[in-house]
Chain A
Amino acid sequence: MIPFVINIVYFLLLLALLLAFIRLTRGPSLPDRVVALELIASIVVGFVGVHAIDTGISSLLDVAIVIALTAFLAAIGFARFIERGPQA
């Protein structure tokens, strides 16, 4: 039962990743793209969690922690870049 469910969850997450990527490429302004990037990072955290269940390797959760951390720092950096401009 679990492998079947995990395949469905992979499919749903892939679909979500595709939709977020559409917004990333189409986004009319830079903040829209940053929001899409943040959502992509959140989806990837979910992906890593599902992959940890799929393979049974619990150390993959450290990867999820690092991805969440870098996504947060990237969002803060992008926001400063948007607000202050490239020279600040």
Chain B
Amino acid sequence: MTDIIVSILLLTGASFMLLAAVGIVRLPDLPTRMHASTKAGAMGAMFTMAGVAFFFADGVVFARAFAIVVFILITSPIAAHVIGRAGYFIGTPLWSGTVKDELRDNYDSQTHNLKSGFEGSPESVTPPPEPNSDKTA
């Protein structure tokens, strides 16, 4: 019974990692590649560690595998965020079919200031009046 559970967990983890590798080869630009590699890769490592914990069925091994899972779960999003940020700032080209890039107009990559697009308009100083305030009163 343990063998079957461990086999399923290992095969699932290896399949997720293979899927991440296929995604990193096939997808067109940096953010989509990171989308494939960080999530599916972390998922595969977590499934593999779950298989290890089930196989040994020991408290110490379980604690170690759990520590690895927690560590991957914490560090993988941080690393992806930092690399994606650096890749965007040095001007890595996006895919030609990219629909939306909100940062390009509103972000100054020299001073790292983010604009909201409402600077200088009256709405940025005072909130707009409520249109329905007199009806309820």
Give the Cβ gap from B53 to chain A, nearest Cβ, in Å. 9
Mostly helix, strand, loop or mixed at chain B's interface? helix
Within 8 A of A (CB), among B9-29: 10-11, 13-15, 17-18, 20-22, 24-25
Q: Could you say which interface size class chain B belongs to?
A: 35 or more
Which residue of B6, B37, B68, B78 contacts A35 across the interface (Cβ within 8 Å)? B37
**Which one, B11, B67, B76, contacts A9 given CB within 8 A?**
B11
- Bound CA span A35–B64, Å: 26
0/1 per residue, B33-44, Cβ < 8 Å to A?
A: 110011001101
The answer, among A31, A49, A58, A75, for a CB contact under 8 Å with B51, is A49
Contact across chains for B20 and A39 when beta carbons are under 8 A apart: yes
Cβ-defined contact, A16 with B21, below 8 A: yes
Interfacial residues of chain B within 82-119, with CB under 8 A of chain A in the complex: 82-87, 89-90, 92
Residues of B with C-beta under 8 A to A53:
6, 10, 51-52, 55
- A41 to chain B minimum Cβ distance, whole angstroms, is 9
Q: Kindly state the separation between the CA atoms of A51 and B86 in the bound complex, as whole angstroms.
A: 35
Report whether A1 and B7 are in contact in the complex, using a CB–CB cutoff of 8 Å: yes
A64 shortest CB reach to chain B, Å: 6
Knowing A29-B92, A39-B21, A50-B48 are in contact, say whether A68-B14 is a contact too (CB < 8 A). no
Q: Which 5 A-B pairs have the closest CB atoms?
A: A31-B87, A19-B21, A16-B21, A75-B79, A12-B14
Write the residues of chain A forming the contact surface with B, with a CB cutoff of 8 angstroms.
Answer: 1-2, 5-6, 8-9, 12-13, 15-20, 22-23, 29, 31-32, 34-36, 38-39, 42-43, 45-46, 49-50, 52-53, 58, 61-62, 64-65, 68-69, 71-72, 75-76, 78-80, 82-83
